[in-house]
A and B are shown apart, each in its own frame.
Chain A
Amino acid sequence: MIEISNFSFKYRESDQPVVSGIDLTIPDGAFVGITGAAGSGKSTLTYALNGIIPHCYPGDFYGSVVIDGLDTCDVVLTDVSQVVGSVCQDVDSQFVTSIVEDEVLYGLENFGVPRDEIEGRVSRALADMGISDLRDRVISSLSGGQKQKVAIASILALNPRVLVLDEPTAELDPASSQAVFDLLARYAREHGTTVVVVEQKIALLSQYADLLVIVDEGRIRFADEPAKVLEHSDELKRIGVNCPRSTTLMNRLRAEGLYGGASVRNVREAREALKEVLA
């Protein structure tokens, strides 16, 4: 379980805190989507989860972030990393090797995973991301989607209990974005891993997340099931978060008294709801 209580952070070079008064509890095995406008502080929130704050960026840290009883401020970054695996935003610069297999090996070697377990973990992580055939490839020759999967596999191999990803599909086309989310969701289900994804594409988050967190100007504005959060499409729009169009449509129909059900998360739900309206 992850417990963030009254967390605020101010980077040393800025005069205002980026996030403040954050309270958030994430149960084990949840799939959490975090979104918000640019500069809302959503990335900072992920840095707090994976220990990059306070360990890599200096600044003023208030409150606490406790992961499975481990206060991220009390331990060194490496201890946090054993529990929380992080995939950073810029995949190209996070690769430390040039071959897919070596990249997956890297963390395993560092964390001292026993030799006889290593091979199994490497092949399983690659299989989990559906990239077993890329094992011997040179990373720079891969497509954006493939690179993203390699980056995720290299973290999955470490069997993290929590997985934190910062905009994993920013550079990907819709089909590959969907594929990455499908793989993540399946992996999390099978392993009971907690997944926290920061993402601009709210349609994807609404589809996959159990808990949707909307950050606005450094504070959590909403944290609830996607269908509940999406009820507030007008306010979301005002704070720079655009709902899926099918959600907007159904919310407006509700406002006009033509629809009485819950907010929809995707086209399929909208279709079923509309069938009833039009029947």
Chain B
Amino acid sequence: MIEFDDVHASYEATLPILKGVSFTIRDGEFVAFVGTNGAGKSTTMRLVNGLLKPDAGQVLIDGVPTTELRTSELARRVGFLFQNPDSQICCNTVREELLFGFKALGQAGPEADERVDAIIEEFGFDADDDPFLLNRGARQLLALASIVVLAPPVVVLDEPTTGLDYRECAKVMDIVRRIHERGTTVIMVCHDMEVVADYATRCIVMSDGTVVDDAPTFDVLRNRDTLERASLVPPQIVDLSFELARDMPQLAETAVARANTVDEMLAAVAEEARTTQDVERSVCA
């Protein structure tokens, strides 16, 4: 469990970044932090794994304040995927890279080797590849794998899909979904609202160092007031559904006004078109 209790934080005393942030994330949740650049999302992430300590208030990981633990100790509980995989990757082969975390935590051994083998298999890596010769998407995947292999109960992802193309993005996010389904708590910062809508179950919206909304993903994405305040661009289908319901009041009670995905919207529109035709037919008759 991760608890923020009225957290204030800054990099320099004169420039507060977080101005009283509170929330609780329970085990097994999938939470997305959204907001513009500079809203305080990345700072919040750094507080979760103790790279930054609060100026005031408390950050509790499983009930323990982060001020009482070193970041390297917190690494057992919180895995952190940085925006740039290149700051993380430092070994000569994929296998070494995946073992690196175990060594750092003093857990190298046959069990670690087994886990590394399993991950190489699952991600479809070549164990002897040189990480620096892989392309950007594969490096991001490797950076993610080197966190996942340690099986931390919480994984924090800072813009995991930035700079990736559609296929790479889907690959990374499907693995994130898989580890979430295995019980890992996932916290991610993400600018791509389509990705947020596809994967996260809860959204925490930040603006200017404060939390402006915290609710199930689609409640947030359908809240025009929140979107406006945090300068968010809603996912296209959500936006479409909202605008249709607004412009055509007769649709307000139909599935069109509730559709969040392409499939849902498709079904809703087909249904509406069919009933309209039925009505027309009965009128003609």
Contacts and interface: CB of A to CB of B under 8 A. Distances in A.
Contacts of B37: 143-145, 172-173, 176
B53 interface: no
Interface stretch (B74-82, B173-181, B217-225, B232-240): B232-240
Contacts of A274: 240, 244, 269
B167 A278 contact: no
Given A173-B191, A271-B243, A245 B237 contact: yes
Contacts of B256: 278
A127 interface: no
A75 interface: no
Given A240-B165, A246-B236, 16 more contacts: A36-B165, A38-B136, A143-B38, A144-B37, A173-B191, A175-B36, A178-B233, A200-B165, A245-B237, A258-B273, A267-B240, A274-B244, A275-B244, A275-B248, A278-B248, A278-B251
A278 B227 CA distance: 27
A278 B235 contact: no
Contact of A38 (B38, B135, B247): B135
A62 to B, nearest CB: 24
Which range holds the interface residue count of chain A? 35 or more
Interface in A67-103: none
A118 interface: no
A253 interface: yes
A256 B192 CA distance: 29
A203 interface: yes
Given A174-B193, A249-B265, A278 B273 contact: yes
B270 A245 contact: no
Interface of A: 36-39, 143-145, 167, 170-176, 178, 200, 203, 237, 240-242, 244-246, 248-249, 252-253, 256, 258, 266-267, 270-271, 274-275, 277-278
Nearest to B250: A278
Interface string B259-279: 000100110011011001000
- Top 3 nearest A-B pairs by Cβ distance? A242-B166, A245-B236, A174-B233
Given A38-B135, A38-B168, A271 B163 contact: no
Contacts of A249: 237, 240, 262, 265-266
A252 B166 contact: no
B25 interface: no
Contact of A37 (B167, B233, B248, B262): B167
Contacts of A278: 244, 248, 251, 256, 269, 272-273, 276
B194 interface: yes
A144 B167 CA distance: 26
Contact of B166 (A143, A172, A241): A241
Which of A178, A248, A267, A270 has the most chain B CB within a 10 Å cutoff? A267
Interface string B131-169: 000011100000000000000000000000011111110
User: What DSSP secondary structure best describes chain B's contact surface?
Assistant: helix
Which of B166, B239, B243 has the most chain A CB within a 10 Å cutoff? B166
Interface of B: 35-38, 135-137, 162-168, 191-194, 231-233, 235-237, 239-240, 243-244, 247-248, 251, 256, 262, 265-266, 269-270, 272-273, 276
7 contacts: A36-B165, A38-B137, A175-B232, A200-B164, A275-B248, A278-B248, A278-B276
Nearest to B256: A278
A116 to B, nearest CB: 38
Contacts of B239: 267
A251 B167 CA distance: 20
B166 A240 contact: yes
Contacts of A36: 165
Contact of B162 (A38, A171, A178): A171
Given A271-B243, A278-B256, A170 B270 contact: no
A244 B247 CA distance: 22
